[in-house]
Every structure is written in structure tokens, then in C-alpha cells.
Amino acid sequence: MKQDQSVVVTGGAGFIGSHMVDLLLSEGYKVRVIDDLSSGRSLNLEHHKNNPNLTLEEKDIRSILPSSSLFKGATYVFHFAGIGDIVPSIERPSDYFDINVQGTVKVLEASRFAGVKKLVYAASSSCYGLADVPTDEKAPIDTKYPYALSKYLGECTCFHWQKVYKLPVNSIRIFNAYGLRSRTSGAYGAVIGVFLKQKLENKPFTVVGDGNQKRDFVYASDVARAFYLTATTAKTGEIYNVGGGNPQSVNHLVELLQGEVVYLPKRPGEPDCTWANISKIMLDLNWKPIITFEDGIHKILQNIEYWREAPLWDINSIAESTKLWFNHLSQER
């Protein structure tokens, strides 16, 4: 019975992690969340505050011991905790490897000693670099910046633990996830969050390049469902792409959000199109995205006040923030 099963969600107060918690609680599991609350928000779990099946432990994953009681008796572990974004990884690469690789080792060791049934790792499609599209799981690895490399090495570490220690592992390479509760603070990052704050302040949307670049947006609750299916399947040692499978242009996003636009220089190292070939997960696990892009943006606009306290980015602050990006990733050096 699920009511007797416990699961661990690292980074469960964060963006996708909190959607994972929603799904697991709705399925009747007892959920243990580990989150240092540095990038996640405890408010993301506020709607579950009276749920006796949820516990939240404020903890840095790097401090987890192999004998951690948080993992004892857990059936599944969903590992979302880590740090993201391109710019900070260029500025602070050692932090990214410390958390995304060494932190993953701590989670793996606790999972191994607890004898969990399955660990599912939140990997990143950034490992593919400037890939041919649509991109399947066998595409060459071409990490362009430290964040991408750290997440890929975290994935490699997971599969090494399966090979050596027989810990059952699957990995999901997430494409462009969006939805409610995406990050509202920190470094210059995901385009939708940047645009939402600009809309709230009646400022123009800062579109990079000509806006014709496409991203394979996938709604967070669809991502959570993919993780659940990847945990509960008998399959192990698998890598799955998860995206919408239907890339949308930034110009179309702007049309849906409605507002004025200013254009910024195209940045090096960014693909013209991200597009997940999702045929493998559709075939193996009968997963497919449910929330259309238009419906997803509508949901976000209905809850736009969530982004009220997010930083406001403009041409000058973006240029300053991405200066190192241009310096280090430009092909003309």
C-alpha cells in the first residue's frame, strides 16, 4: 500500500520538486523533503502544511550522511536538489561541481545504505549542447558551460553507483520546464520568469536575438508525472528525454504574454532550437505531455503575482550579468 511507503524528494521546495511533492502526496505516499531553501521556497509547500504525510528537513545535501534516518525505509528517491543557470556556473564553477556532483554522491550513498528501490535523477538537456533536432537520448554529449558539465557528471555518477553498488537508477534529461513556482530570485535565468516580472512592471520584454529561436517548453506537472512513471517502472539504467516535443518560439511566447519588446544581441553557446525526441519515454512508459503551451501560459498568467518580488531585468543589467558569458563562450576569440 502506498500509504505505508515513504519517498524522499531532494530539492522538494523548489520549482519542479514541489510539483513532484504534489503528485506523490496525491498518490498517497509519505513524503520526506530535503531542501536548504536557498533557491527553493518553503511557500511552495505551504498548501501542504497540515498534511501529516509531509515532512520538510532544511538541510544542505552535502551534509547528508550515509546513515541518514531521512532515507531509512524509503522506497524511492527523487533527486532534484542542485544549483542551476549558466552565468553563475561560469563565475563559480567549483560551487557547481561541489553541489551537483559531490552533493549527488551524498544522496547516492544515503540511498544505497537505505536500500531504496529506485533513484531517479533530474538531469539536464544542456548536456547535448548545440545538438541536431529533434534530439534523442543517443545524441553526442557536448557540454558548453560548467552547469551543463556538472549536471552530466552527476548523471554519470548515478549510473556508476548502479554499476558498482547495484543501486537501481534512472535519469530524466529535462528540456525547458516552465510553470507555477519557478524561481523568483537569484541570477538572470529562465526567460518566462524574466518576462513575467517585466509584464508586472509594464516594462518591455527583453528578447534575445530576433525571437525566432524555439524552446521545447514542458509544463512542470507533466515533468513530475514523468519522474513518477520512471520510478515505478521495472526498468532501470535508463535515460529519458522529457520535453513538450513541440518547440515554441520566443516570439509566440511574447504574443501570449502581450507587451512591448526590445531586442538584445544573440548569445554564444545558445541553440537556435531545443527539441526533445520523446518517443522513447512515450513507448516505454506511455508518457506524453498533457498541458499545452497555451494552457500553461494561461495558468501562469492567472497566478502572475507570484513573480511580484522577482528581480527586474533590463538591457543594462542583463548586459552586465552576461558579460562573462560572452567573454568565455564566444567562438570568436
Q: What is the pLDDT of residues 288-320, one digit of tens each?
A: 999 999 999 999 999 999 999 889 999 998 888
Would the pLDDT of 333 be above 50? no
Would the pLDDT of 280 be above 80? yes
DSSP codes, 116-156: -SEEEEEEEGGGG-S--SSB-TTSPP---SHHHHHHHHHHH
Q: How far apart, in Å, are the Cα atoms of 289 and each of 47, 136, 137, 223?
A: 25, 17, 18, 8
**pLDDT score recorded for residue 39:** 66
For 133-166, the pLDDT digits (tens) are 999 999 999 999 999 999 999 999 999 999 999 9
Would the pLDDT of 9 be above 90? yes
Would the pLDDT of 256 be above 90? yes
Question: What's the mean per-residue pLDDT of the chain?
Answer: 93
306 is catalytic: no
Say how far apart CA 133 and CA 139 lie, in whole Å: 9
Residue 4 binned pLDDT confidence (cut-offs 50, 70, 90): confident
Is the separation of the CB atoms in 81 and 16 below 8 Å?
A: no
- CB atoms < 10 A from the CB of 320, how many? 10
Q: Which of 108-117, 128-137, 277-286, 320-329 has the lowest mean pLDDT?
A: 320-329
**pLDDT score recorded for residue 187:** 61
Would the pLDDT of 41 be above 70? no
Helix then strand then coil, % of the chain, to nearest 5: 45, 20, 40
Would the pLDDT of 190 be above 90? no
**pLDDT score recorded for residue 189:** 63
Query: Of 29, 76, 96, 147, which one is the catalytic site residue?
Result: 147
Domains of the chain: 2-177+217-242 (3.40.50.720), 187-215+248-272+293-329 (3.90.25.10)
With pLDDT > 70 as the criterion, what percentage of the chain qualifies?
Answer: 95
Would the pLDDT of 123 be above 90? yes
Mean pLDDT, residues 206-217: 95
Q: Which of 29-43, 199-213, 319-333 has the lowest mean pLDDT?
A: 319-333
Say how far apart CA 202 and CA 196 lie, in whole Å: 10
How many Å separate Cα 228 from the centre of its chain? 15
- Sign of the CA dihedral 203, 306, 257, 188? positive
**pLDDT score recorded for residue 332:** 42
Q: How far apart, in Å, are the Cα atoms of 101 and each of 36, 157, 166, 189, 288?
A: 16, 8, 19, 21, 30
